[in-house]
Structure 1
């Protein structure tokens, strides 16, 4: 089953965007890259006849000799390079190539926090409401949201929003003028209970929804019909993820501590019902361990620790990373490698153990008590090779991949994440990270993670030096939980029943800063 032909990864991973193209209109606001280490003044050319030590270290390897030179001092900064009169010198400590541009596995990029500060949201054209299915209320809180894969590749920005009442609203968040009407939305009702996660499949034809009714359901985007019901969990299903290498495989994680892998080609139950039901082909119980049973004479079965989030890494087929509600330990699973295989004497299903796990719990760096992970997101582009996790202790953790080694923590004075409804999302370009917050002020936080890889490698575990100060946005009247990115926009969902779209617009932002009292009725911007 798992060895069937796979979808080419080039089609799935084509959402990696070109940072320069998406930010071309901000080029004038960023500092000019260093194209030469020469300050323009005439310098004495270093000749071969100058007196030098017998052995001089070469500062750069792998480039032609005309682009590198040997010097007789240890070079630590750009000023030292200028003093030596070196026109083209590059070395690993600076992370610059012979032309002055970043190089290496984690290159140094120009800060883009000023771009994040320019995100604004219109009070008329960037607000959507989640309408209630009942007559006793007008709106209902959104629990989860997800942009389509096409939206992350600069296609039509279709946003699927899942609500507390089991509905799905598909919104077209294309930028429109203030007097334009909202585009027609598509509404589906796959569940009668709250939906805690929603995900698009690779070709954006199907939606998978994880619900509090202990099931995951597959719906057609084109026909809005329910196609399949996935059973197997004994409690709330908290998260779902499609296998990017195979269109028929997906995995779910639940409050019952189980990981369930489904194959949509396999129909395990009877077809008596109109909608086919399926059971998992692989089940992993107590994926993140179990709580200790209380002492005493009465024996009580320990409860498993819930699974809070799962994701398929971009570069490893059949691999799966999961997080739990108990601590900050992440597990990596290879679903092709069971720890024991069934035999004729023991025909039970094979059991699985993590291929490897985090060796240290970073949530204990700032206290003796361990805390769970509410959400995870993987980096791409400049943040490739990193996993970001949001802890229930209101801290952002950075893990290296594939070792799952925690490197650093980061927080914000107003960031509150003591709820498993709060989510984390990385932008398609891999430069920014968005986080919700349980603060009643309705805060959205955007982080610049351009150089997170370099900082993670430089500082020790638990370091508090920020990747870049987060930018805070306020404008919704309650907690913000679900968030997601499309290209050049981010959506935030609040418990007040609203969905807001934030976009970079430098001209509007500068006008808002210059005339705050006048613009506050029409726009929201960073605080």
Structure 2
């Protein structure tokens, strides 16, 4: 609103030139503030200590929580020197602290390192299993026995992300049971399961592909078969091993690629797009596109008598590390040495008419066998491999026949000095499995022997400098050897020789009741020993 002509000259506002000029609204004008300077009577240097009659000079600091924290002034303006409007526009002086997430740790200035997360052993100790609603039986297909031992188990990728917990359980008789292990009441019946029969021999490993539509099963009939999870129909038969197929892994970057390892010591790479259709059923029969023979034999072979035929060193574990997308990591039954194989070299670099693919090379090999560092007179083999995630990303865990869980770092495959074990843990059987929880913080291992125990460990701080291995938690609830184990979101499945599959869940209230009245609770629950 323009001032009236009768306004005082002191309050007159001259009219601005309005030709070809667009006036910027006041709320859009850019404001400029100069840094405030100390009063001229204050000199640089140490501020003298105030006398009795001189009040302490204070200034306002803004804390990280947004609260006003008053402290003794260190040479800046006092509250009386700065009005409230200027104080609001002053830049806030904060102590510089850098925060960076790396493998579950936050980097702080030197000398201020503190553990970020407390131990979760109390949560692992609270895992319980109901005798009624958490036990699943593997029925036998033979008339002579009622139950059959489960050799392998695997949760879907969706189950690890919080979806419906569908668990595939492979048995000694070549069948696969797909179980819904959702929490239910003791009086509720088991959800209907699906059973397929891809083999007529024992299945030693079962793996879901990445969209949970296909199942890969490794069997003693020297073949790996791919089955449709929805219909149970066999769609692919992979033949190339000369002995039992022990382990399998899907390539996370390619839907049609997978790798297998066998007791013949070979590693086979498969492409489901390559093969021939056999029979009227339309089953694709494939041969390996790449074979790595004698994957864990000595690089320099010693001289042996001609009549001596060495026993092949089995491939016991295989995985595709996410941090190394162009290779696989394998373990063997002879020692604790891991090897990383580069799969990018598929043909000979020399000019040749031969189209035979070149055998991949081992780019990395563990420099030291960790199974020989703890009083063992000879090397011990690895029974199972698994890779970490979250706080344990970039690490590989391996359970050895020396009753220890060893940790390796990628890509060098160097064994870390920290190992995990339990006084009652035994792992001298190549059926003992290993699995890392979806959060990457917990590790579960089976156990050989007749006690029927499995073991849980908190491995979240394994890569932290100065970390100390914490004691494990022993869970007892089955009879015989506990072999295969696998995690879903907030639950763990364990398979035992008694033909049962148990599901363990954290339940603090039930655990406390079991501790308060163990005699009465043992009829309904199993909990940590």
Deviation (angstroms), 1:316: 2.5
Residue 337 of structure 1 aligns with which residue?
345
CA shift in 2, pair 1:290/1:360, >3 Å: closer
Structure 2 gap segments, 5+ residues each: 1-62, 77-91, 98-106
CA shift in 2, pair 1:342/1:206, >3 Å: farther
CA RMSD in angstroms, aligned pairs only: 2.6
Of residues 306, 316, 319, the one that matches 1:311 is 319
CA contact (8 A) 2:438 2:489 kept: yes
Residue 480 of structure 2 aligns with which residue?
478
CA contact (8 A) 1:290 1:304 kept: no
Match status 1:66 vs 2:74: no
Distance, in Å, in 2 between the alignment partners of 1:212 and 1:373 is: 20
Match status 1:514 vs 2:516: yes
Correspondences of 1:292-303 after superposition (within 5 Å): 295-296=304-305, 298-303=306-311
Residue 398 of structure 1 aligns with which residue?
407
Residue 421 of structure 1 aligns with which residue?
431
Deviation (angstroms), 1:299: 2.6
CA contact (8 A) 2:432 2:447 kept: yes
Residue 142 of structure 2 aligns with which residue?
134
Of residues 420, 427, 432, the one that matches 2:442 is 432
Residue 388 of structure 1 aligns with which residue?
397
Residue 492 of structure 1 aligns with which residue?
494
CA shift in 2, pair 1:475/1:300, >3 Å: same
CA shift in 2, pair 1:179/1:93, >3 Å: farther
Deviation (angstroms), 1:501: 0.2
Match status 1:189 vs 2:197: yes
Correspondences of 1:369-384 after superposition (within 5 Å): 369-384=378-393
CA contact (8 A) 1:341 1:349 kept: no
Q: Which moved more, 1:225-234 or 1:287-296?
A: 287-296
Correspondences of 1:442-453 after superposition (within 5 Å): 442-453=452-463
Distance, in Å, in 2 between the alignment partners of 1:472 and 1:45 is: 56
Distance, in Å, in 2 between the alignment partners of 1:515 and 1:480 is: 27
CA shift in 2, pair 1:326/1:47, >3 Å: farther
Distance, in Å, in 1 between the alignment partners of 2:304 and 2:358 is: 31
Deviation (angstroms), 1:514: 1.0
Tell me the alpha carbon deviations over residues 74-126 of structure 1, each in whole angstroms, 9 at most, x when there is no partner.
xxxxxxxxxxxxxxx95344435xxxxx6xxxxx4221110001110001000
Deviation (angstroms), 1:238: 0.3
Residue 24 of structure 1 aligns with which residue?
none
Of residues 217, 239, 243, the one that matches 2:247 is 239
* SS, match of residue 382 in structure 1: helix
Match status 1:91 vs 2:109: yes
CA shift in 2, pair 1:48/1:357, >3 Å: farther
Match status 1:162 vs 2:190: no
**Higher relative CO (CA 8 A, sep ≥ 6), structure 1 or 2?**
1
CA contact (8 A) 1:240 1:252 kept: yes
Deviation (angstroms), 1:348: 3.5
CA shift in 2, pair 1:137/1:254, >3 Å: same
Distance, in Å, in 2 between the alignment partners of 1:47 and 1:507 is: 54
For normalisation by structure 1, the TM-score amounts to 0.78
Deviation (angstroms), 1:293: 7.6
Tell me the alpha carbon deviations over residues 478-522 of structure 1, each in whole angstroms, 9 at most, x when there is no partner.
110000000000000000000000000111111111111111101
Correspondences of 1:282-297 after superposition (within 5 Å): 282-289=290-297, 295-296=304-305
CA contact (8 A) 2:347 2:355 kept: no
CA shift in 2, pair 1:256/1:140, >3 Å: same
Deviation (angstroms), 1:275: 2.1
Distance, in Å, in 1 between the alignment partners of 2:204 and 2:337 is: 22
Distance, in Å, in 2 between the alignment partners of 1:498 and 1:164 is: 12
CA contact (8 A) 1:338 1:353 kept: no
CA contact (8 A) 1:310 1:320 kept: yes
Of residues 331, 340, 357, the one that matches 2:365 is 357
Q: Which moved more, 1:259-268 or 1:119-128?
A: 259-268
Match status 1:211 vs 2:219: yes
Residue 10 of structure 2 aligns with which residue?
none
Distance, in Å, in 1 between the alignment partners of 2:345 and 2:111 is: 41
Distance, in Å, in 1 between the alignment partners of 2:339 and 2:110 is: 33
CA contact (8 A) 1:388 1:397 kept: yes
CA contact (8 A) 1:342 1:349 kept: no
* SS, match of residue 478 in structure 2: coil
Residue 209 of structure 2 aligns with which residue?
201
CA contact (8 A) 1:238 1:254 kept: yes
Equivalenced residues, count? 438
CA contact (8 A) 2:346 2:357 kept: no
CA contact (8 A) 2:153 2:167 kept: yes
CA contact (8 A) 2:348 2:357 kept: no
CA shift in 2, pair 1:92/1:476, >3 Å: farther
Deviation (angstroms), 1:272: 7.1
Deviation (angstroms), 1:319: 1.9
CA contact (8 A) 2:474 2:528 kept: yes
Residue 326 of structure 1 aligns with which residue?
334
Residue 54 of structure 1 aligns with which residue?
none
CA contact (8 A) 1:339 1:353 kept: no
CA shift in 2, pair 1:347/1:249, >3 Å: closer
Distance, in Å, in 2 between the alignment partners of 1:179 and 1:307 is: 44
Residue 105 of structure 1 aligns with which residue?
none
CA contact (8 A) 2:156 2:167 kept: yes
Distance, in Å, in 2 between the alignment partners of 1:128 and 1:242 is: 27
Distance, in Å, in 2 between the alignment partners of 1:487 and 1:141 is: 25
Residue 79 of structure 2 aligns with which residue?
none
Distance, in Å, in 2 between the alignment partners of 1:172 and 1:384 is: 29
CA shift in 2, pair 1:342/1:265, >3 Å: farther
